[in-house]
Structure 1
Amino acid sequence: MGTSAESDAFVAFERVQKSYDGETLVVKDLNLAMPKGEFLTMLGPSGSGKTTCLMMLAGFETATHGEIKLDGKPINNIPPHKRGIGMVFQNYALFPHMTVAENLSFPLEVRGMAKSEREQKVKRALEMVQMGAFGGRRPAQLSGGQQQRIALARALVFEAELVLMDEPLGALDKQLREHMQFEIKRIADDLGITVVYVTHDQTEALTMSDRVAVFDDGRIQQLAPPDELYEAPQNSFVAQFIGENNTLEGVIEEIGGNRCTVKLDSGDVIDAMPVNVSQKGERTRVSIRPERVEFNPELGPDAHTLTAEVREFIYMGDVFRTRLSVAGHDEFIVKTRNRADQKRLSPGETIQIGWLPEDCRALDAS
């Protein structure tokens, strides 16, 4: 990543590493630059290093190596409460014995702010999250969604320009969670704040973010806008982790330009886009998204067709999900829109399926 990007960055990690025992690195040589006003999500499985990165930025963990900068200034040695960063956790961390207004006022009081100014800031923060009428209630009198809004208001109360959120919606039910995703994004956009958001929920990451950093094994595997991450994964891990994905394994037979020919382990030969492969004879895993596959295709001379056997045909409302046996794989999924002309398929039926070579990506075999 160029220095020009880093010098303009509001948040920057420069060659950051973290080890708890002096041997194993949980974060490995991390470089990341974020502009002001960006909503960036750190996404990855448990133990991938995403929460550790958030905690180092907050100041609750120290980097073993490298530098973290906020608005151009190194913050490695600045204690958490002096970084001016707002935090929102999954468990809300609200004081049960205080009213909502007292919960919001407390961090301002600690900073020695005058009472009239505190009241003004609390009122404004509650209005931002549409909770203006709830200042006199205690946390126990609020629903989960309301408590989460108050936790967000508390992060916004001292007008922090950077807000960190660690799995903030994990405790909410699906419907409320989806509603809050849009709500948080709207508030962040309206206020122009910079957000670093940690989740292991890929749908949440795709819905909310300007960019997503996909973590695995202490490294960022890919950093890109949501659509690019989904449509153009750079390696097998990202392809498997983001959204549903079909993979077929084989060997590169020919490669040149933006095409390669793959001989699948089943003996079938297909064309694909070479993404993370470079030479003939190399093992590869090709990736095709379920919605890019067509039944009895009429995709033109370029397309591939393979014979498939229907295993399961599931009605899901807006889509049909068909599980097929293809090229020796029994878990090949095709998603088709629920249209009036969609013929229902029966288990055991044999059909032709196909896709365009540019929708099929030849990735690393690991």
Structure 2
Amino acid sequence: MTATAEAEPDTQQDSTSTNTCFARFINVQKSYDGEQLVVKGFDLDIRKGEFVTLLGPSGSGKTTCLMMMAGFETPTHGDILLKGAPINGLPPHKRGIGMVFQNYALFPHMTVAENLAFPLEVRHLSKAEIQRKVERALAMVRLEGFGDRRPAQLSGGQQQRVALARALVFEPELVLMDEPLGALDKNLREEMQYEIKRIHADLGVTMLYVTHDQTEALTMSDRIAVFNDGVVQQLASPETLYEAPENAFVAYFIGENNRLQGIVTEYSETVCQVQLDNGDRVLAKPVAVSGVGERTTLSLRPERVAIIRGESTGFDNRFSAEVREVTYLGDHLRTRLSVCGSDEFVIKTPNAADHAALRAGDVIDIGWTMQDCRALDA
């Protein structure tokens, strides 16, 4: 399955024309040895000012696509366009693209100001113009007064801000980011996510971002392309990817998920009944199944499962479950249950006094709607 921007129902604007899209991959393939493809028929249209993330596990092909856009790798097949013009044969320094790497790639012998001035000097700007742009870039990343320091005198978060400022200082229309926050600790990483998102909103620059961190992708992106084995599994907004995954890989790569396997016993276009491997029957929304007899994996988000107390008619599926483990996580509780033939069934509930009373060994009733349970590929 190859997902394209043209096929994605979530994108309401027309991104199929080179008149409306800013950057474009057209049936791009890449092989390093002439035999095995690491990118297989990649199609993507990126609108001007959009923040698009390539998300996937290591070795899935996402970084290779970024490097082909930057000019550090050449496609084996297909075309890459920037503002409607093919750039396959254009060297990196002539593409006018900003680049931010995971290891910052700052010059250690230069001050912060000299690092930022470098891409302007090679473009032969005047000293006055260089000074103005450097000061503006430092203010953009909130590092005014740091121009005379060297990279070794900065924290990891500050170095990453300088790397971002250097990518933006010559005012490129497209900025590429390759796992830029991977070397930061959790708190700094979260802070920089919102900082990059703020800068993107302020400048309106187009960004193509690579990460394997789903939280980063969900937090920052307008759209996300989920990669696996060189193929885009789904291209959509963060909300659509989380709420409406099209296949099992996307469902389990984006967020936590309960997986229940079984066989379709009744089917229509809007609802199917699945007999689980333990014999229980579940009503689900058919997404990647097409008829009776097919094996399927059901996808159900933990927060979509409710604890039922007393009589309730609001759930298509209702089961008794035994509590195995309760984990306190501050704003919510993560409870592991034994139900529907699985000892790893998880629910997430708000941190309320009645839920906090759950203990291992308790038997509770849980329920969920058919719409929240998606029947995907086996």
Structure-2-length-normalised TM-score? 0.94
What is the CA–CA distance in structure 1 between the aligned matches of 2:270 and 2:72, rounded to whole Å? 46
Contact conserved, 2:234 with 2:246, CA < 8 A, in 1? yes
Contact conserved, 2:106 with 2:115, CA < 8 A, in 1? yes
Please show how residues 313-332 of structure 1 align to structure 2 within 5 Å: 313-332=326-345
What is the CA–CA distance in structure 2 between the aligned matches of 1:338 and 1:157, rounded to whole Å? 45
1:341 positional shift? 2.8
What is the CA–CA distance in structure 1 between the aligned matches of 2:93 and 2:314, rounded to whole Å? 63
Are residues 1:307 and 2:313 paired? Answer: no
Counterpart residue number, 2:11: none
Contact conserved, 1:306 with 1:353, CA < 8 A, in 2? yes
Are residues 1:254 and 2:266 paired? Answer: yes
Contact conserved, 1:313 with 1:344, CA < 8 A, in 2? no
Contact conserved, 1:299 with 1:356, CA < 8 A, in 2? no
Counterpart residue number, 1:5: 16
Local SS of the residue matching 1:178: helix
Counterpart residue number, 1:352: 365
Paired residue for 1:37, among 42, 49, 52?
A: 49
What is the CA–CA distance in structure 1 between the aligned matches of 2:320 and 2:361, rounded to whole Å? 12
Counterpart residue number, 1:81: 93
Counterpart residue number, 1:110: 122
1:302 positional shift? 4.8
Counterpart residue number, 1:120: 132
Contact conserved, 2:15 with 2:47, CA < 8 A, in 1? no
Counterpart residue number, 1:271: 283
Q: 1:86 to 1:301 in 2, by over 3 A?
A: closer
Counterpart residue number, 2:64: 52
Are residues 1:235 and 2:247 paired? Answer: yes
RMSD: 1.3
- Find runs of 4+ consecutive structure 1 residues off by over 3 angstroms: none
Local SS of the residue matching 2:353: coil
Q: 1:6 to 1:25 in 2, by over 3 A?
A: farther
1:307 positional shift? 2.1
Deviation per CA, 1:213-245: give whole Å up to 9, x if none: 110010111111111110110000000000000
What is the CA–CA distance in structure 2 between the aligned matches of 1:343 and 1:75, rounded to whole Å? 58
Paired residue for 1:99, among 111, 116, 122?
A: 111
Contact conserved, 2:314 with 2:369, CA < 8 A, in 1? no
- Look up the equivalent residue of 2:55 and give its one-letter code: L
Contact conserved, 1:311 with 1:322, CA < 8 A, in 2? yes
Contact conserved, 2:288 with 2:375, CA < 8 A, in 1? yes
Local SS of the residue matching 1:185: helix
What is the CA–CA distance in structure 2 between the aligned matches of 1:120 and 1:317, rounded to whole Å? 46
Local SS of the residue matching 2:16: helix
Counterpart residue number, 2:375: 362
Contact conserved, 1:299 with 1:355, CA < 8 A, in 2? no
Paired residue for 1:159, among 171, 182, 188?
A: 171
Deviation per CA, 1:192-219: give whole Å up to 9, x if none: 0000111100011101111111100101
1:352 positional shift? 1.8
- Look up the equivalent residue of 2:185 and give its one-letter code: D
- Look up the equivalent residue of 1:110 and give its one-letter code: V
Local SS of the residue matching 2:355: coil
Q: Identity rate of aligned residues, in percent?
A: 67
Local SS of the residue matching 1:132: coil
Counterpart residue number, 2:10: none
1:299 positional shift? 4.7
Counterpart residue number, 2:144: 132
Deviation per CA, 1:308-349: give whole Å up to 9, x if none: 111101111111111011122111100000113325222222
What is the CA–CA distance in structure 1 between the aligned matches of 2:54 and 2:91, rounded to whole Å? 23
Q: 1:301 to 1:140 in 2, by over 3 A?
A: closer
What is the CA–CA distance in structure 1 between the aligned matches of 2:17 and 2:273, rounded to whole Å? 40
- Aligned pair count reads 365
- Look up the equivalent residue of 2:354 and give its one-letter code: D
Counterpart residue number, 1:188: 200
Contact conserved, 1:277 with 1:363, CA < 8 A, in 2? yes
What is the CA–CA distance in structure 1 between the aligned matches of 2:375 and 2:129, rounded to whole Å? 59
- Look up the equivalent residue of 1:5 and give its one-letter code: T
1:171 positional shift? 0.9
What is the CA–CA distance in structure 1 between the aligned matches of 2:333 and 2:201, rounded to whole Å? 35
1:301 positional shift? 5.8
Counterpart residue number, 2:300: 288
Long gaps (5+) in structure 1: none
What is the CA–CA distance in structure 1 between the aligned matches of 2:238 and 2:277, rounded to whole Å? 32
